[in-house]
Amino acid sequence: MKFLIVANDEKDIDLSFSLELSSYLREHGQETEVLKNAQEQPGLSADICLVCGGDGTMLRTAKIFGERIPMLGINLGTVGFLTEVERENVHAALDRLVAGEYSVEKRMMISGTVGNTQSLALNDIVVTRAGFSRIIGLNIYVNDQLLDTYEADGVIIATPTGSTGYSLSAGGPIVSPRAHVIVVTPISPHSLSAKSIVYDASEKIRVEIVKKRKTQDTEAIVSFDGEPGIPLSVGDSVTAEISSHAVSFVKLYDTSFYTILREKLI
């Protein structure tokens, strides 16, 4: 079996942790390759990708390897909701992998389109105010039908995986990662009626930037999984829908999603 080990060099500064994992696996007859940060490597293949870092490292790695190589996160950060293994339990986890005692779980992704640019998100697509804009105007369309106009700091379009991230902190619901839905949550809306809404994954969501005041220029940005944002102006739109791409997560234990919620969030 071949293991790809992706190391976050900000959390594993000298790669000592990742290299120790590589040594341990090689001692147990496995093939390994250590990669400093997630970066595309044409032709690179492996049976399992070990991601050493936190949730941000998992998100970056998912876009590059997550569709073709099942990922297992090893938490070197804080909460690490996407990471299943803590560093103190890593050798026991590796033993289970070598023994084949694991399963693979698929997670849906969403595809976002801005003009001629298209990108994927495992967690969320966030449209938010930028520059000196205060609150911004956002028309929300569902299947090209206008649903509502938000006056808010922005809006979050989240997957079930992303429902425990920024969307949750903005008041959105927690959704089981097995669900196929899209969650749309306004950020600090200036209306008591503006609420988070859960849509079926077959729905297409479009967010249009609209002018709120005649005397105020509206500036916004859109970000995919926390990556550097793309500038938006009045009239620009962001369209989000379920992607044909899916990410594979390695599951070592039968621990339920709800047990993880209790341990990490409550």
CATH code for position 33: 3.40.50.10330
Q: Are residues 132 and 228 in the same domain?
A: yes
Q: With contact defined as beta carbons under 8 Å apart, do 246 and 109 qualify?
A: yes
> What is the extent of the structural domain holding 78?
2-101
Q: Are residues 156 and 173 in the same domain?
A: yes
pTM: 0.90
Q: Are residues 31 and 75 in the same domain?
A: yes
Among 14, 34, 12, which residue's Cα sits nearest to residue 23?
A: 34
Count of structural domains within the chain? 2
- The string of pLDDT tens digits covering residues 143-182 is 999 999 999 999 999 999 999 989 999 999 999 988 999 9
- Pick the more confident residue, 127 or 261: 127
Band (pLDDT 50/70/90 cuts) for residue 218 is low
Paired strand residues for 35:
6
Q: Are residues 117 and 76 in the same domain?
A: no
Torsion of CA 169, 175, 179, 180, to 10 degrees: -30
Residues with catalytic roles: 55
The domain that holds 165 is classified in CATH as: 2.60.200.30
Cα distance between residue 257 and residue 255, in whole Å = 7
Q: Which are the contacts of 173, defined by CB distance < 8 A and separation ≥ 6? A: 163, 183, 196, 198
The share of the chain scoring above pLDDT 70, in percent, equals: 92
Cα distance between residue 75 and residue 144, in whole Å = 41
- The helix-helix angle for 90-98 and 16-27 (nearest 10°) equals 40
Q: What are φ and ψ of residue 201, in 5° steps? A: -65, -15
Give the burial string for 7-23 (b: 16+ CB within 10 Å, else e): bbeebbeebebbeebbe
Q: With contact defined as beta carbons under 8 Å apart, do 11 and 57 qualify?
A: yes
Asked if residue 18 is part of any domain, the answer here is: yes
Among 77-86, 105-114, 199-208, 237-246, the minimum mean pLDDT is found in 77-86
Q: Are residues 141 and 89 in the same domain?
A: no
